[in-house]
Structure 1
Amino acid sequence: MTDTTQLDAWRGEFGDKYIDRNETLTDALRMRTRMWAQLLKSTHGAEPESILEVGCNIGLNLRAIDRLSPATLYAVEPNAKARQRVLDDRVVADERLHNATGQKLPFGAAEIDMVFTSGVLIHVHPDDLGTVADEMHRVSNRWILVAEYFSTKPESIPYRGRNDLLFKRDFGGFFLDRFDDLEIVDDGFLWQRSTGIDDLTWVLFRKKNR
């Protein structure tokens, strides 16, 4: 498994404190479910039969998706405390939850119908972003969805007293420029006061002819 300064932080006490700040609450899950109803709507007619979240934390997104879709759910998460919470709450079956990172996804080519991140690519160092994008593209059979902070120019943002853990850019544009077989199906803005998570822009891509 690839080690970076960012991954070391999220695997350790820094990541554990993030989990403690993001407990599963009824209102949070209700808002997240409404969010995913919007995001999945554009897959109508080719709904994913399997979905992978890269960096699931305690699985709030997957809990919401499970309310809306019969898809088989998969996840990778480097933080042990978060993985245990996902297992304890039976969000994802043990054999479908992996101690892994976006730099090296433990799946075969085109094995998963939809691969997505939500507030995860912002924590990947720019030097490693291409590797993560390549892995998501490799594993995806049809759909790729990214929901992340947006900036027209790449920039590093101070985050909880550190300057090496949060990076903003046009993530949708990064994927579109990197892969010539992707087409935009839908995109939009997720408002914090509606979703309960930070303001994010999202883009849903489909591999052409899939």
Structure 2
Amino acid sequence: MRDLSEQEQFWQGDFGNRYVERNVGQPLVAGNLALFAKALTRTSRIDSLLELGTNAGNNLQALRQLLPHCELFGVEINQLACAQAKALGIAQIWHGSLFDFPRDRGYDLTVSKGVLIHLAPTLLATAYAQLYALSQRYILIAEYYNPTPVEVSYRGTSGKLFKRDFAGEMLDRYPDLHLLDYGFGYHRDPQFPVDDITWFLLEKRP
């Protein structure tokens, strides 16, 4: 077994547990449902999807309502979050690092929402490779956007939150990826507020 990076250990531990406790509840699920409904409008026939960094399952709950016949899979490194996601009974949840998740099969859609922002820049190439290799057609990236890479202090910690053009970097890295759609979720939305997330829907094309 490989040694986990400092960042992976960080999210496995107490800070990750507190993150789980802060980020639960039906209002979050409702906001996610509205965001995913927009983000996936231009897709067709998603029968399976994999979320890298599932946390307690808020995104998967929204996706279950939106895609009731889709097989849902999630990957989560934090044990508390993993247990909560499994308890929902709506998806197959794999406990471990997204970097170690096996590429035994492909999925119609791979998803990263609020995950890439928390990875050290040196880990991004491997995360991009997982999103790409595990996708049979679509990749959805929903993260904090900035045209140039920037680090942001996060709850008194450094090296734990970054903003950049994640989708643009994937488009540059993989020539068969194309931008299918994109949009923004605003924290002041009067009905379905979300955390100022910019989403990008990418598609593999021959």
**Percent of aligned pairs with the same amino acid:** 34
CA offsets, 1:60-99, max 9 Å, x none? 111001001121000000000001111222232xxx2111
> How many aligned residue pairs are there?
202
CA offsets, 1:31-66, max 9 Å, x none? 2212211111110xx221101100010111110010
Q: Distance in 2 between matches of 1:177 and 1:105?
A: 24
Q: Is the 8 A contact 1:103 1:135 kept in 2?
A: yes
Q: Is the 8 A contact 1:104 1:135 kept in 2?
A: no
Structure 1 stretch displaced more, 192-201 or 144-153: 192-201
The answer for the alignment partner of 1:197 in structure 2 is: 194
Structure 2 unmatched runs, 5+: none
Structure 1 stretch displaced more, 58-67 or 30-39: 30-39
Deviation, structure 1 residue 148 = 0.5
CA offsets, 1:98-133, max 9 Å, x none? 112232322325x11100100100011100100110
Q: Distance in 1 between matches of 2:31 and 2:152?
A: 26
Q: Match of 1:158, as an amino acid?
A: S
Alignment of 1:118-157 (within 5 A): 118-157=113-152
Deviation, structure 1 residue 2 = 5.5
Q: Is the 8 A contact 2:145 2:166 kept in 1?
A: yes
Residue 108 in structure 1 maps to residue 104 in structure 2: yes
CA offsets, 1:165-186, max 9 Å, x none? 0111011111101100101110
Q: Match of 2:62, as an amino acid?
A: A
Structure 1 stretch displaced more, 1-10 or 133-142: 1-10
Q: Distance in 2 between matches of 1:107 and 1:185?
A: 24
The answer for the alignment partner of 1:37 in structure 2 is: 37
Q: Match of 2:35, as an amino acid?
A: M
Q: Is the 8 A contact 2:176 2:204 kept in 1?
A: yes
Q: Distance in 1 between matches of 2:119 and 2:179?
A: 23
Q: Distance in 1 between matches of 2:122 and 2:173?
A: 14
Aligned match for 1:48, one of 34, 46, 51? 46
Structure 1 stretch displaced more, 193-202 or 183-192: 193-202
Residue 177 in structure 1 maps to residue 177 in structure 2: no
Q: Distance in 2 between matches of 1:107 and 1:196?
A: 35
Structure 1 unmatched runs, 5+: none
The answer for the alignment partner of 1:65 in structure 2 is: 63
CA offsets, 1:15-39, max 9 Å, x none? 00011111222x3222221221111
Alignment of 1:19-38 (within 5 A): 19-25=20-26, 27-38=27-38
Instruction: Name the SS for the 1:65 alignment partner.
Output: helix
Aligned match for 1:167, one of 155, 162, 167? 162
Instruction: Name the SS for the 1:58 alignment partner.
Output: coil
Q: Is the 8 A contact 1:59 1:91 kept in 2?
A: no
Tell me the TM-score normalised to structure 2 length: 0.93
